[in-house]
């Protein structure tokens, strides 16, 4: 029962992504993806007593960082796989990214989504020339539909986060952070399935294990946080949230991102809907930036989550800006940060 050899036999953790993979990703995706600005934020720095920098992934084509992973994966497919086309399930931003990259490369793309996806995102995917297939009420339903297409039509499923190529693509943000802020001490990253934080966390920890990697999810439906606590992927119910891009499970069969998050993430902070709305309002009011709820979770954590060490250099990933105007105005109008 208490076999002492068991511990010795446990193999050491080996990351499914290497630093070389991240550098290769950077070279591969360079023609399709921007190096985004990292801007100092005197306003947030003064408010929390640390040096705050914003990494503006809102400047990517299609409005989020997801083009990095999508481009790296699709460009790594064989010519034959590319000919048969790609498909994916997505709350929106990953779907947009896959559609955009596929169009650039002249590859067929089918995007499977659930009925929960905001109309604005669905319209945007169709405008990018992809075929949209709507099925079910959750990410899991959309995912099932996607794998049916893979079986029936031989398309390649481009997973949103649980794929080493996707993770390496998102990891290129880590390289850019090290370039622009070599003295970085902490990074705050919106967290859903964990592809983004796995890539960034792995890359930064490879440079220096002392760099603190902090994930942020919404209190409602925080699948990764619950999974970390349980020590295995768990399913949580999906509830409407301002951070709709963070909805979805981490996959019961998660192979890569969960293990990397366990290994390379120091802490996960949960933020309330009020804090997310305040983050959106403050980014607009103080920085003149329009961001979606998911992208405001980092700022929400800075303002309420007690994540920053005094005086430290901290980068916050502002991950996307796909929000429809009405939802945006409602969110910032309700926030006490506005006019308070
Ligand atoms: C997908 C997404 C995230 C979370 O990325 P994961 O790799 O799923 O953790 C954060 N913000 C935005 C805007 C996204 O689209």
pLDDT by residue (tens digit) across 300-309?
A: 999 997 898 8
Average pLDDT of span 103-111: 96
- How far is it, in rounded angstroms, from Cα 257 to Cα 217? 15
51, 217, 319, 335: which one is catalytic? 319
Better-predicted residue by pLDDT, 288 or 309: 288
The predicted pLDDT at position 8 comes to 61
Q: Is the CB of 293 under 6 A from ligand 1?
A: no
Q: How far is the CA of 244 from the centre of ligand 1 (A)?
A: 10
Q: What is the pLDDT of residues 9-34, one digit of tens each?
A: 678 899 999 999 999 999 999 999 99
List Cβ neighbours of 66 (8 Å cut-off, separation of 6 or more).
60, 93, 94, 96, 97, 160, 320
Q: Is the CB of 92 under 6 A from ligand 1?
A: no
The predicted pLDDT at position 139 comes to 73
Q: How far is the CA of 162 from the centre of ligand 1 (A)?
A: 12
Q: Is the CB of 93 under 6 A from ligand 1?
A: yes
Active site residue 55: no
The predicted pLDDT at position 250 comes to 92
pLDDT over threshold 60, residue 340: no
Q: What is the pTM of this model?
A: 0.93
Please, what is the average pLDDT of the chain?
A: 93
Q: Which of 123, 169, 172, 81 is nearest to 322 (CA)?
A: 123
Partner residues linked to 113 by β-bridges: 134
The predicted pLDDT at position 12 comes to 87
Q: Terminus-to-terminus CA distance in the chain, angstroms?
A: 61
Q: What is the pLDDT of residues 248-284, one digit of tens each?
A: 889 889 999 999 999 999 999 999 999 999 999 999 9
Q: How far is the CA of 246 from the centre of ligand 1 (A)?
A: 6
Q: Is the CB of 169 under 6 A from ligand 1?
A: no
Q: How far is the CA of 2 from the centre of ligand 1 (A)?
A: 41
Average pLDDT of span 132-142: 85
Active site residue 319: yes
Q: Is the CB of 242 under 6 A from ligand 1?
A: no
Average pLDDT of span 110-114: 89
Counting ligand 1 atoms within 8 A of each CB, the residue from 36, 60, 65, 143 with the most, and so the one to mutate, is: 65
Q: What is the pLDDT of residues 54-85, one digit of tens each?
A: 999 999 999 999 999 999 999 999 999 999 99
66, 73, 159, 205: which one is catalytic? 66
The percent of residues in the chain predicted with pLDDT above 70, rounded, is 96
Q: Is the CB of 90 under 6 A from ligand 1?
A: no
Q: How far is the CA of 88 from the centre of ligand 1 (A)?
A: 15
Average pLDDT of span 179-183: 98
Q: Is the CB of 294 under 6 A from ligand 1?
A: yes
Q: Is the CB of 191 under 6 A from ligand 1?
A: yes
Q: Is the CB of 171 under 6 A from ligand 1?
A: no
The predicted pLDDT at position 91 comes to 59
Counting ligand 1 atoms within 8 A of each CB, the residue from 64, 73, 162 with the most, and so the one to mutate, is: 64
Nearest-CA residue for atom 1 of ligand 1: 245
Q: How far is the CA of 154 from the centre of ligand 1 (A)?
A: 27
The predicted pLDDT at position 188 comes to 98
């Amino acid at each position: 029962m208490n076999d002492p050899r068991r511990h010795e036999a446990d193999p050491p953790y080996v990351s499914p992504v290497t630093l070389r993979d991240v550098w290769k990703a950077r070279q591969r995706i360079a023609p399709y993806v921007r190096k985004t600005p990292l801007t100092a934020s005197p306003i947030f720095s003064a408010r929390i007593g640390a040096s705050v920098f914003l990494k503006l992934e809102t400047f990517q084509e299609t409005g989020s960082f997801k083009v990095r992973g999508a481009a790296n994966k699709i460009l790594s497919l064989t010519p034959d796989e590319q000919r048969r086309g790609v498909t994916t399930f997505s709350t929106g931003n990953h779907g947009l990214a896959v559609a955009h990259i596929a169009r650039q490369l002249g590859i067929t793309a089918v995007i499977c989504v659930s009925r929960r996806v905001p109309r604005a995102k669905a319209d945007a995917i169709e405008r990018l020339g992809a075929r949209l297939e709507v099925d079910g009420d959750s990410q899991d339903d959309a995912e099932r539909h996607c794998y049916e297409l893979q079986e029936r039509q031989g398309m390649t499923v481009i997973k949103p986060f649980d794929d080493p190529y996707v993770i390496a693509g998102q990891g290129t943000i880590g390289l850019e952070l090290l370039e622009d802020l070599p003295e970085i001490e902490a990074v705050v990253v919106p967290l859903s399935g964990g592809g983004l934080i796995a890539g960034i966390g792995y890359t930064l920890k490879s440079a220096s294990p002392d760099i603190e990697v902090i994930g942020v999810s919404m209190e409602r439906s925080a699948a990764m946080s619950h999974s970390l606590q349980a020590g295995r992927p768990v399913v949580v119910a999906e509830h409407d949230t301002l951070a709709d891009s963070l909805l979805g499970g981490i996959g019961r069969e998660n192979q890569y991102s969960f293990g990397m998050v366990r290994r390379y993430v120091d802490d996960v902070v949960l933020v309330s809907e009020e804090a997310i709305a305040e983050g959106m309002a403050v980014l607009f009011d103080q920085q003149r930036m329009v961001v979606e709820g998911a992208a405001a979770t980092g700022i929400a954590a800075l303002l309420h989550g007690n994540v920053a060490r005094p005086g430290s250099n901290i980068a916050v990933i502002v991950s996307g800006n796909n929000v429809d105007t009405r939802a945006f105005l409602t969110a910032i109008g309700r926030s006490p940060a506005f006019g308070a």
